[in-house]
Structure 1
Amino acid sequence: MELLRVRIERAGYEERDDVVKDVGFALEAGRLVGLIGPNGAGKSTTIKAILGLIKLTKGEVSFCGPEGTYAYIPEHPILYEELTLWEHLELAAAAYGLTEERFRKRAEELLARFRLGDVRDHLTTSFSKGMQQKVMLVIGFLTKPDVYIVDEPFIGLDPKATKELLDTLNEERRRGAAILMSTHVLDTAERICDSFVLLNGGETVAQGDLEHIRRQCGKPGATLFECFHTLT
């Protein structure tokens, strides 16, 4: 079952409206798709176009799941200086219309999982970069949407937090959610992603599972890292 369908003919900005062109793919329930590419390849523009944040976008993006819901976990934490961790979660719950019972149960579970329970009443400005990134993960996982769009989630996370992130992503996949994940951590991407969209120069240069990517770059048995460097 498709939960997200993307067909971007072109997307960009006033100074250049074709930063991304002819990018198309679909996300199916329970699948994790890696959005891969070097810096400047168009990954961030693609994500912004999917989220409807770029005015100059031509194409079609459809969230076609049962609820049509999605969560975005950005690369750089976006937090309010005057709010505590718990107040951030309350704000997110109010925005998504979660019931108090559902919110509290899920929030407590996630705070325990990411080891943030002891700082729930602290201002997030006092947190390290890794802790702030974990706050964004907790907010993103709070609502259990149909689709997750995750941008460079491993930056700043320690090994234990990385494992908790991967475990939570796998739980959500088993629940039936679809995940689009942009990352530079290619060894992890190779291990966890079902398929890949490899961008370079704003265009798709390869797409499919690893075996298909290998065939497209003519390197049987190559790692994702090796394919990446061949194609970009």
Structure 2
Amino acid sequence: MAARQENADKPALLMKELTGGYSQRRPVLHGMSVTVYPGEMVGLIGLNGAGKSTAIKHILGLMVPHSGEVRVAGVTLEENRDKYRASTSYVPEQPSLIPGLTVKEHLKWTAMAYQLEQDVAYERMEQLARTFRMTEAMNAMPETLSKGMKQKVMLMNALLVRPPLLIIDEPFLGLDPLAIRGLLEALEDVRAEGSAILLSSHILSALERRANRLVVLHRGHLIAEGTPREVKAQAGCNGPDSTLDDAFEALVASAEGGVPLG
């Protein structure tokens, strides 16, 4: 905990002038720069095909930048592969569990992989099971779980680790209202301990209430960044009844040459 506090002013994620994608000839991302500090939740917003998934793949080290760099916990993947990998956990949009392992065994495996102390791991496991109402399913196999329950298992594994950077892609899909509330409360807990969160979602109302800052992507370009209020102001949506959904629609219209709503 003390180490986290000492590093509070150092970015958990630094993406600097990143251009990248699947082809050098047709990059998906164009000079993208994003910084996420410990204890922050930053929302990543964009239409389908805006470049969100490509950005996440670059952060995870699954794609090599054409230019620019990505640093997690102060290092690039090339400088310190072990530290880079250990400093990030990721929850994909589509849950993927290991056949033959129970929910509890998934969590134990994650705890061992990240070298968590056993007492700490077990305490967190019990807490997360209560938070997500999964206590009675801890010995269940993946094939017996609903999609929403599988998503809960993925989230529980990521939240168990509490790394410097937690990346979550569309976490609210498939979750019931109580699970969404539990997730948001759990995210507040890990933020309080110093983890940074990059959360990609189409549920803008949740980001408007919870995110410290927002990053808006369109066709691989960063078109707005700032607090929810600042992003709405950038979109010209300054009215008392303006929502982040209004601002997003206006920003996309402007980026495509239309007339902003605000």
The aligned length equals 232
1:231 aligned partner: 251
Q: How does 1:81-92 map to 2 (within 5 A)?
A: 81-92=99-110
Q: How does 1:47-62 map to 2 (within 5 A)?
A: 47-62=56-71
Q: Is 1:78 the counterpart of 2:87 in the alignment?
A: no
SS at match of 1:13: coil
Distance apart, 1:21 and its partner CA:
1.3
Change (3 A) 1:88 1:200: same
Maintained 8 Å contact 1:14/1:56: no
Change (3 A) 1:15 1:84: farther
Distance apart, 1:178 and its partner CA:
1.3
TM-score, structure 1 normalization: 0.93
Distance apart, 1:84 and its partner CA:
1.1
TM-score, structure 2 normalization: 0.83
Distance 1:89 1:218 in 2: 46
Distance 2:128 2:101 in 1: 18
Distance 2:26 2:237 in 1: 34
**Which of 2-11 and 131-140 deviates more?**
2-11
Distance 2:146 2:24 in 1: 36
Q: Is 1:124 the counterpart of 2:124 in the alignment?
A: no
Distance 1:45 1:16 in 2: 16
Q: Deviations over 1:108-138 (max 9, x none)?
A: 2211221111111110121001000000011
Distance 2:214 2:205 in 1: 13
> How well do the aligned residues superpose, as a CA RMSD in angstroms?
1.8
1:114 aligned partner: 132
Maintained 8 Å contact 1:8/1:57: no
SS at match of 1:18: coil
Distance 1:22 1:36 in 2: 17
Distance 1:173 1:77 in 2: 23
Distance apart, 1:15 and its partner CA:
8.2
Q: How does 1:188-207 map to 2 (within 5 A)?
A: 188-207=206-225
Change (3 A) 1:57 1:117: farther
Identity level (%): 40
In structure 2, list runs of 5 or more residues that go unmatched: 1-8, 75-82, 253-262
SS at match of 2:95: coil
1:180 aligned partner: 198
SS at match of 1:184: coil
Maintained 8 Å contact 1:11/1:20: yes
Distance apart, 1:56 and its partner CA:
5.0
1:37 aligned partner: 46
- Structure 2 residue identity aligned to 1:228: F
Q: Deviations over 1:11-37 (max 9, x none)?
A: 111486411111111111221110000
Distance 2:26 2:60 in 1: 17
SS at match of 2:61: coil
- Structure 2 residue identity aligned to 1:224: L
In structure 1, list runs of 5 or more residues that go unmatched: none
SS at match of 1:191: helix
Higher RCO (C-alpha under 8 Å, 6+ residues apart): 1
Distance 1:173 1:98 in 2: 18
- Structure 2 residue identity aligned to 1:231: L
Bigger strand share? 1
Distance 2:24 2:14 in 1: 27
